[in-house]
Structure formats: C-alpha cells, structure tokens
Structure 1
Amino acid sequence: MAASPYENNKGLSYPLTKMNFRVVVANVEGSAAFSQVTGIDATVDVIEFRQGNANSLAPVKIPGLVKHGNITLRFGYTLDSAFKTWIQECVSEVRGQIPRNDVQIELIDINGGAPQTLATAISGTRVWLLTNAWVTKYTGPELDAKTSDVAIESVELAYEELIIPN
C-alpha cells in the first residue's frame, strides 16, 4: 500500500492545486470541460454611521448589503449542445423567463497519481455554490489561421448568492 502524502510531510496537509476542478450546472445535461474559472468573490458593503450626539468623532461601521461579482468560465469549443442551449436561452433576443440554474464549482483533491475516473478521484473537495446563476455575457472564440491553439469560448455568469458549504 502506498504511503499517504501526509505521512512524509509530518502530518501537514499540502495545499490543493488549482488545476483539478469541475463545474456542474444544475438542470443542464451533458458536459463542458472548462479550462478556467475566475471571479468567485463576495463583498460586504460598509455603512458608516454617526449619531449627532456621539462623543466620538469617528463613525461606527455597520455591515451592509452583500454583493457578488460575476464569474467567468472559459472552455474549449465543444459540440455538446446542452450547455450551449442554456447559453442561447439566456442571451437570445427573445425576452421571456431567463433560465436560472445553480452552479457548483468543485476544487478536487487528487491524492497522488492519475485516477481511473473522476468519481474515484474525489477524496475531498472544496465547493462553491452559486445560486440562481444565469449567463449575462457570451464571448466566442478568437479565430486565427496562423495558430494551432484551442478555440476558447467564455461565458460570464451573474448569480444571487455564494454558498461555501465546507
């Protein structure tokens, strides 16, 4: 049996690398392999308040509204139609109910070696859950006949709440 990576490191755990992750969009069948996820953040506004009869000249700081930036997903051009259908439904010029879905981003801890399948690879994950997400921007790939790079598309998602369950 192989030694645990923690045994040779005196019980200290190694930080997770940012290269092993997956993105799951609820209610969207199929898959899209993402090469980059950026923009996971939350900011709490600060409200400065001072009563007129306060002895201190410094205001009291009170937490205000929580704001979330948009996230950007970059992915290689794929023929998978389910994810593209969701994008099309969100950015189409026909106005109706824009489909909102929860998006789960998982940072995967692969404990040594390449796993056989993704299911066996996940021994511990760091999860970010974005609730009621929808596509607010789509950017097609840059096309250039002089390069052999992968055609990368990107989508920007707006969401209502960031949940960090573990």
Structure 2
Amino acid sequence: MPARASQFDPFRKFKFRIKIANQVVAGLTKCSALTVSVESKEFRSGEMDSFKQKLPGMVSFEPITLEQGVTSDKTFEKWATAMANYLGNKGADSQKTPDDFRKEVDIEVYNLNNERVKAYRVYQCWVSKYTAIPDLDANSADVMIQTLVLENEGIQVMQ
C-alpha cells in the first residue's frame, strides 16, 4: 500500500509553539500569518515617460493575531493590560516607558516527529488590541477565546 503524501508533510498547521520572552505560551490555539509588505513607488523618468517605473519604498510588517482559550494563566492578560495601564497612568506601570512593554516573540514550526523545521523571531512586539473574552452566549458550546493583536517592527528567520 503506498504511503499518503500527508505522512511526509513536515509543515502541518497544528504543530507550532509561540515563545514570549523565551518562554513557551501554553495553550495557544492560533497564530495569524507573518506578513511583510514592501510599498511600491511609481515614477516616470524624463527619457522614458511612456511607461511608469517602480521602486521599492517603505517596508511594513502586518499585525499578528494570537488566540488562546481562556485559562487561569495570566501571561496574555498581564502583557495586554500593562500598556493600557501605562497609557492611563494607573498603578505601578505608570513609571515605565512604552519600550518596557515591547517583547520579542518566537514562532516555531514542528514536523510530525516533533522536530523544529522553521523558526521566526518577531521584534519589538506590543499589544495593540486585546479581547479578554468573546461574546457570551449561554446557548453555545464554544470555548472562550482570548485574542491579542501584536504590532511589530521586524521578522527574522532563525537558524
């Protein structure tokens, strides 16, 4: 009997780990795509004005969305509310600067043998949006999911 192609696929979507400040975040269920965009600038040169030429412009890094089932683990909640507390000048976080809330995030992809096959470091992440709990519905059997949206300033492939 021939082997199925899926048995040899090392890049399945459900085998990944997220590390924040070098610690694995337990129970993470979803991570959005890592996307880098380079703006395209059009111009016409004086000699060839019958068509536009393009040059690369500003580089931007799309926000990353992390989802986790609501648990007693306070990692997401502490990070998400720290920036809000700072901006609102509430509590001990009022003595910090916005840079104190930025973290490096590592995203690691594993194959079926639990061997790391890809890894990325995302730099200068900070929480721009936090959903503590989703809409509540007593008629639903869905799991409650917390969501963090992370702004970032760069992505690097790790060895």
Give TM-score, length-normalised by structure 1: 0.76
Distance 1:90 1:58, change over 3 A: same
Identify the residue that residue 102 of structure 1 maps to in structure 2: 104
Q: Deviations over 1:4-56 (max 9, x none)?
A: xxxx68xxx525110111110116x673321111142011011112222x135
The residue type equivalent to 1:62 in the other structure is L
Ranges of 4+ aligned residues in structure 1 off by more than 6 Å: none
Q: Deviations over 1:83-142 (max 9, x none)?
A: 32111112322365231000011111122xxxxxxxxx2x23211211000000001222
The RMSD of aligned alpha carbons is 2.5
Distance 1:39 1:91, change over 3 A: farther
Say which of 16, 24, 41 aligns to 2:11. Answer: 16
Within 5 Å, give how 1:99-138 maps onto structure 2.
Answer: 99-111=101-113, 121=114, 123-138=115-130
Distance (Å, rounded) in 2 between the aligned partners of 1:137 and 1:24: 19
1:159 aligned to 2:152? yes
Q: What is the DSSP-based 3-state SS (H/G/I as helix, E as strand, rest coil) of the residue aligned with 1:72?
A: strand
Q: What is the DSSP-based 3-state SS (H/G/I as helix, E as strand, rest coil) of the residue aligned with 2:79?
A: helix
Deviation at 1:62, TM superposition (A): 1.0
Unpaired runs of 5+ residues, structure 1, are 1-7, 112-120
The residue type equivalent to 2:126 in the other structure is W
1:140 aligned to 2:135? no
Confirm or deny: 8 A CA contact 1:132 1:160 kept in the other structure: yes
Question: How much identity, in percent, do the aligned residues show?
Answer: 29
Confirm or deny: 8 A CA contact 2:10 2:111 kept in the other structure: no
Deviation at 1:164, TM superposition (A): 2.1
Distance (Å, rounded) in 1 between the aligned partners of 2:48 and 2:155: 39
1:64 aligned to 2:38? no
Distance (Å, rounded) in 2 between the aligned partners of 1:109 and 1:155: 26
The residue type equivalent to 1:33 in the other structure is G
Give TM-score, length-normalised by structure 2: 0.79
Confirm or deny: 8 A CA contact 1:33 1:75 kept in the other structure: yes
What number of residue pairs does the alignment pair up?
147
Structure with higher helix content: 2
Distance (Å, rounded) in 1 between the aligned partners of 2:9 and 2:33: 24
